[in-house]
Structure 1
Amino acid sequence: MISRRSLVKAAAAIPLCGILTHRASAAEFTYKFATGQDPTHPVNIRAQEAINRIREATGGRLEITLFPANQLGSDTELLSQVRNGGVEFFNQSSSILATLVPSAGIVNTGFAFADYDAVWKAMDGELGGYIRAQVAKTPVMTMSKPWDNGFRHITSSGREIRSPDDLKNFKIRVPPAPILTSLFKALDAGPAPINFNEVYSALQTKVVDGQENPLPIIATARLYEVQSSCSMTGHVWDAYWILGNKRAFERLPHDVQEIVTRELDRSADDQRADIARLSQTLRTDLMAKGLKFVDVDRAAFRRALAKTSFYADWKAKFGEEAWGRLEKVAGQLS
């Protein structure tokens, strides 16, 4: 497997000390921060850094304990917990957040973003602002600018995915996210929604033939152990949102709220840079672990998708306002 040392080095050699912090006895507020990612993932490294800075800047008034790797439940369970206040903070991908706030899933529109310039223009601009406003209508809120979950690629333990035709009847794990299920159905694959904490065993036991995730997830979850090839489809970009229980955040004094937002925004920028570096270096690392990489013509996949009703269907679901903000960056999709 990819060593903790190599991942930490790739993420700017940030120490992993204290993933589970010691509570300060003087804390006025003691909160939980849950994630689904392995402790070595940049999400957890940078979240722990923010937690440490928040503790210092608040003089220990706010003590946050980080629980990585789905320790407190699956992604869908944690989304429920942050809604009811059982967990105060939670790192969640747009694809799962869309089960609560449908408009959050618009960033998962197939082949919408050509590159990171387009991604951040949208997410730090009108589209990101629109999504945050929709989330704010629920019991949860976004705590910072979006973090980077990366461009998603397809892995397989058998058939190599080189063209859209190779996806026909291909059993592929997807998150419990309607738009990703819809995307692969439109391309004639057989998508199977499975929670992330069950992905490795589903691949190992051949319940599915493959899965799709960004390279840092493929690495930290050791999916290369049960997959033989990775097709660089970049079919979807996905955000990570740091979500907070609205009531829990509003209980914090105003100055503490400002510190939390400031430090999570700082870690968002750091984490984005980490993922950009890892996306370059992990291909070499994963090849050394035996994973074969297949470069594909992404435009061919987008053309195949455009021949279906996928874009028209999702434009109707998201509405003109959201879709218009997406197309300002992505170009005409439907």
Structure 2
Amino acid sequence: MTRITRRAFTAATLGAGAAGVFMPAIGARAQAVVLRWGDGQAPNHPSPMSAERAAKDVKEKTGGRVDIQSFPGGQLGGSRDMVESVSSGALTMVTEGAALLGQFVPQLSIIEAPYLWRDADHLSKALNSPLMDELNKVLVEKRGMRVIAPTYYGKRHLTTGSKPVKTADDMKGFKLRVPEVDTFKAMAEAWGAKPTPLNFNELYLALSQGAVDGQENPLPTLQSGKLYEVQKYLVLTGHIITPRLVIVNEAAWRKLSDADREVVQQSIKAASEWQDKEILGQEANLTATFQKAGMTVIEPDLESFRKPVLATVPQKFEAKWGKGLWDRIAAM
């Protein structure tokens, strides 16, 4: 696994300019194209692990012409920083949530809206439909980035440090860590909570120090980030089925030959399919794992969480997403 400090990365990209995303490797393979791939998740999460799998496959199939270097754990900055770097050309690739990308292309945030997806199959069907082509077209034209693979991140649940939560009424005044995303903030507010945006790499410390009362994430993320160590209650709300998207800088993508683009695309697709199965498998077993680790698992009143969100969030964001898009996706 390649590691680099954020300071060194910043210095290198400032010195190299846009070449930072598409730079010949130094040494024996002077003509190799280096693609740097950032991810906020810990190295042991299936997302960065899938990047390593793709990198190995690409290197073998291109004879070393294309060298994907993976930087997990937020080494290159927070989520917003890395997406902005891909847009500007300072970074080649990032895996990030669709809701955060909605800050760059508003329509994209609907993909991570609460209570939109029925299940993982519904999510997969939509993200492999013409809908994704439409959204991708806007992303390329407006921000110079392209989605080259959707991935399954998991079903999000609530955890708390000291307070058992059984209904949305128990969330009043609750300091809930959420990503820096407006739809997540609106969801927390619909529950009566106080949304507290934090980068993921700051979350463990914030929970351990009581700076926030709890957080929400898929079970594999609780595992890889060791959040179960600093949270007492797991509340199975299942409020969002989350995709993450592999994004590439469009200019760097177009500099690859057609043949190498095809290899990269297919290798990432295969690695993403592995990741999806891995996450689904972990989700099936981790609740019991967390119970053994000392967490108390709560099955809450799901409708009390669902009802206030659906009463406010779709209407609030309809202008941002586009009239009728929610209904179109729900009908798929």
The TM-score with structure 2 as length reference comes to 0.88
Is residue 126–residue 329 contact of structure 2 (8 Å, CA) maintained in 1? yes
Q: Which residue among 82, 89, 92 is the counterpart of 1:88? A: 92
Tell me, in whole angstroms, the C-alpha distance in 1 between the residues paired with 2:179 and 2:65: 37
Q: Which residue of 2 aligns with 1:288?
A: 292
Secondary structure, aligned partner of 1:320: coil
Q: Residue 103 in 1 paired to residue 73 in 2?
A: no
Query: Which amino acid is the alignment partner of residue 133 of structure 1?
Result: K
Is residue 52–residue 70 contact of structure 2 (8 Å, CA) maintained in 1? yes
Which deviations, in whole Å up to 9, do the C-alpha atoms of 1:313-333 show, x marking residues without a partner?
12232112532322213xxxx
1:211: how far off?
0.5
Mean Cα deviation higher: 197-206 or 212-221: 197-206
Query: Which amino acid is the alignment partner of residue 146 of structure 2?
Result: M
Change (3 A) 1:56 1:20: farther
1:20: how far off?
5.9
Q: Which residue among 170, 176, 179 is the counterpart of 2:174? A: 170
Secondary structure, aligned partner of 1:241: strand
Is residue 97–residue 112 contact of structure 2 (8 Å, CA) maintained in 1? no
Q: Which residue among 322, 326, 329 is the counterpart of 1:326? A: 329
Is residue 151–residue 236 contact of structure 1 (8 Å, CA) maintained in 2? yes
Tell me, in whole angstroms, the C-alpha distance in 2 between the residues paired with 1:283 and 1:236: 17
Is residue 37–residue 70 contact of structure 1 (8 Å, CA) maintained in 2? yes
Secondary structure, aligned partner of 1:267: helix
Tell me, in whole angstroms, the C-alpha distance in 2 between the residues paired with 1:133 and 1:283: 39
Tell me, in whole angstroms, the C-alpha distance in 2 between the residues paired with 1:294 and 1:129: 39
Query: Which amino acid is the alignment partner of residue 186 of structure 1?
Result: A
Mean Cα deviation higher: 133-142 or 239-248: 133-142
Tell me, in whole angstroms, the C-alpha distance in 1 between the residues paired with 2:94 and 2:309: 33
CA-based RMSD of the aligned residues comes to: 1.9
**Structure 1 stretches of 5 or more lacking a match?**
1-17, 330-334
Query: Which amino acid is the alignment partner of residue 197 of structure 1?
Result: N
Q: Which residue of 2 aligns with 1:120?
A: 124
Tell me, in whole angstroms, the C-alpha distance in 2 between the residues paired with 1:293 and 1:75: 29
Tell me, in whole angstroms, the C-alpha distance in 1 between the residues paired with 2:26 and 2:228: 37
Change (3 A) 1:327 1:126: farther
Q: Which residue of 1 aligns with 2:198?
A: 194
**Structure 2 stretches of 5 or more lacking a match?**
5-24
Q: Percent identity?
A: 28
Mean Cα deviation higher: 316-325 or 22-31: 22-31
Tell me, in whole angstroms, the C-alpha distance in 2 between the residues paired with 1:309 and 1:74: 29
Which deviations, in whole Å up to 9, do the C-alpha atoms of 1:263-312 show, x marking residues without a partner?
11111111111110010111122212112111123233222323x43221
Q: Which residue of 1 aligns with 2:232?
A: 228
Change (3 A) 1:234 1:130: farther
The TM-score with structure 1 as length reference comes to 0.88
Is residue 95–residue 238 contact of structure 1 (8 Å, CA) maintained in 2? no
Secondary structure, aligned partner of 2:331: helix
Q: Which residue among 306, 310, 313 is the counterpart of 2:313? A: 310
Is residue 127–residue 322 contact of structure 1 (8 Å, CA) maintained in 2? no
Query: Which amino acid is the alignment partner of residue 315 of structure 2?
Result: A
